[in-house]
A and B are shown apart, each in its own frame.
Chain A
Amino acid sequence: GAGVSQSPSNKVTEKGKDVELRCDPISGHTALYWYRQSLGQGLEFLIYFQGNSAPDKSGLPSDRFSAERTGGSVSTLTIQRTQQEDSAVYLCASSLDRLAGAIAKNIQYFGAGTRLSVL
């Protein structure tokens, strides 16, 4: 596709349920990022994937959060046993290879996000 695609655009779930959020990055972008944006707050970095390499999970807010990236392309962010404080917009971004060293390749292209509401 032309841009980063995220699905669903909105998700309403009950407390304690698991949810899966999907991100389809721009074709050819090897780097993929997940962020969380809570009401009135800035974007909070969650996790970063570079190609097929194992991600650094230290930014994930709790062990209920996990993410994977299959085949170096599509990524899913899973939240288990959702809590009300998980309600936020989850944004995915992709970029060209950050490790390549060219500053311009750190420009990130964002999807429209998934708005998660935990009741």
Chain B
Amino acid sequence: SQKIEQNSEALNIQEGKTATLTCNYTNYSPAYLQWYRQDPGRGPVFLLLIRENEKEKRKERLKVTFDTTLKQSLFHITASQPADSATYLCALPPGGGADGLTFGKGTHLIIQP
């Protein structure tokens, strides 16, 4: 079955620096990959979707890359701010007989002022 791995340990970054989060997956060749943000007590919120034929996608201070050979996506936040502190989830689309998204456990990002 498809599997997603994210570094679930907390990632501490100094304010103003670039935060880079990693998502690796196995046993799957997804047509696209999504990133979500989740704050405590809230449901995940969609951030970006990148297709398999796109190397890079940007939205304001966010950048996502997608390497289908390495089976890896990188999520970057430039000029990070304390308000960016949250858990970031990587998600693969339905596949392998399943209907729902397959989520990684998420990376808890802490931006220190």
Q: Which A positions have Cβ atoms within 8 angstroms of B?
A: 4, 33, 35, 40-43, 45-48, 56, 59, 91, 93, 98, 103-104, 106-113
Task: Give the shortest distance, in Å, between A64 (CB) and chain B (any CB).
Answer: 20
Q: Are A59 and B99 in contact (CB under 8 A)?
A: yes
Q: Looking across the interface, which residue of chain A has its beta carbon closest to that of B100?
A: A45
Q: How many residues of B contact A (CB 8 A)?
A: 24
Task: Give the shortest distance, in Å, between B111 (CB) and chain A (any CB).
Answer: 22
**Cα separation A91 to B78 with both chains bound (whole Å):** 30
**Cα separation A35 to B101 with both chains bound (whole Å):** 9
Q: Looking across the interface, which residue of chain A has its beta carbon closest to that of B102?
A: A45
Q: Are A106 and B43 in contact (CB under 8 A)?
A: no
Quick check: is B63 within 8 A (CB to CB) of the other chain?
Answer: no
List B42-70 residues whose CB lies under 8 Å from chain A. 42-46, 49, 51
Q: Looking across the interface, which residue of chain B has its beta carbon closest to that of A111?
A: B43
